[in-house]
Structure 1
Amino acid sequence: MNESRSQDLGLLFLRGSGALFLLWVHGLPKLIDYSEQLTLIEDPFHLGAHITLWLAIFAEVLCPLLIIAGVLVRLACLPILAVLLIAMLVVHPQWSLFEGQFGWLLLIIFTSVLIAGPGRLVLSRRFS
């Protein structure tokens, strides 16, 4: 396998596994159990629970799906990174590195995808 192909597979694995993990652990529970999530979601900017939850669903459901497909990948990383930074620095600033390790790892993954791009294994090269 040549180096270019290996890099493309590595980027596919990085973006796919990170996006699936975010979607499965955070996105789908918000979408599936919307009513309960309304009572649980933090609203640090006082936008209201519905708007805050829909912004989180956008970042944690739609954006990961775009990243998996390889469509608008770098653009789709931005809302994810925004939600993660808000969670880590505004909502949970008291968390130790140990308590926030999942969030920091997701920041590392999606920042890496933002920097490196999706690679050539995408649904459409035109919109990646």
Structure 2
Amino acid sequence: MKNSSALFIPPRIDLGLFFLRLTGSLLLLHVHGLPKVFHFSEELTRIEDPFGMGPYMSLIPAIFAEVICPIFIILGVGTRLACLPIIGVLLVAMLFVHPGWSIAEGQFGWLLLIIFTTLAITGPGKWRIAAGHHQEVRHGAS
């Protein structure tokens, strides 16, 4: 007879995707997103403008990617789509704003790029708001 408590243990992949979503998004929010919101005026004077659109048009997409998108990713709602603006902002930062950085200097940005590209490929896993409250438990091969 199988251990009945095994029915309540989530598959490791879903737990891993939830952990990746939660920690990656919270890190992005804390380090990059929320400081841009709380210090908006100051950020307007400091933000890089690699395409000459002006500081406001550079800051608003960054805030969207670093605040709004991580919230959707944490909830597991539209995860793949929400990863795309983050990936875009990170690629602009790494390739256009800081092209001279070594891998070591840009490691935080590259690691965030790895996290959110992975989530864009895999999706959120089963632990998400959109999954609802009732999950079907399958027995046998997975």
- Asked whether the two chains share a fold, i.e. TM above 0.5, the reply is yes
CA–CA separation in structure 2 for the residues paired with 1:30 and 1:43: 15
Structure of higher RCO (CA pairs closer than 8 Å, 6+ residues apart): 1
The Cα shift of 1:75 comes to 0.2
CA–CA separation in structure 2 for the residues paired with 1:9 and 1:38: 38
Over aligned residue pairs, what C-alpha RMSD do you find? Answer: 1.5
CA–CA separation in structure 2 for the residues paired with 1:112 and 1:63: 15
**1:51 aligns to what?**
57
The Cα shift of 1:125 comes to 3.2
CA–CA separation in structure 2 for the residues paired with 1:31 and 1:50: 12
- Of 130, 138, 141, which aligns to 1:124? 130
**2:117 aligns to what?**
111
CA–CA separation in structure 1 for the residues paired with 2:119 and 2:21: 6
Residue by residue, what CA displacement relative to the aligned partner does 1:71-124 show, whole Å, maximum 9, x if unpaired? 100000000000000000000000000100000000110011111110010011
Displaced runs of 4 or more, over 6 A: none
Consecutive unaligned residues of structure 2, counting only runs of 5 or more, are: 1-5, 133-142
Query: Where do residues 52-71 of structure 1 align in structure 2 (5 Å cutoff)?
Result: 52-71=58-77
Q: How much identity, in percent, do the aligned residues show?
A: 60
Structure 2 length-normalised TM: 0.85
- Of 16, 27, 35, which aligns to 1:29? 35
Greater helix fraction, Structure 1 or Structure 2: 1
**2:90 aligns to what?**
84
Structure 1 length-normalised TM: 0.94
**1:18 aligns to what?**
24
CA–CA separation in structure 1 for the residues paired with 2:65 and 2:56: 14
Of the two, which has the highest radius of gyration?
A: 2
Counterpart of 1:11, as a letter, is L
- Of 5, 14, 31, which aligns to 1:8? 14
CA–CA separation in structure 2 for the residues paired with 1:42 and 1:27: 15
How many aligned residue pairs are there?
126
CA–CA separation in structure 1 for the residues paired with 2:85 and 2:27: 16
The Cα shift of 1:4 comes to 6.3
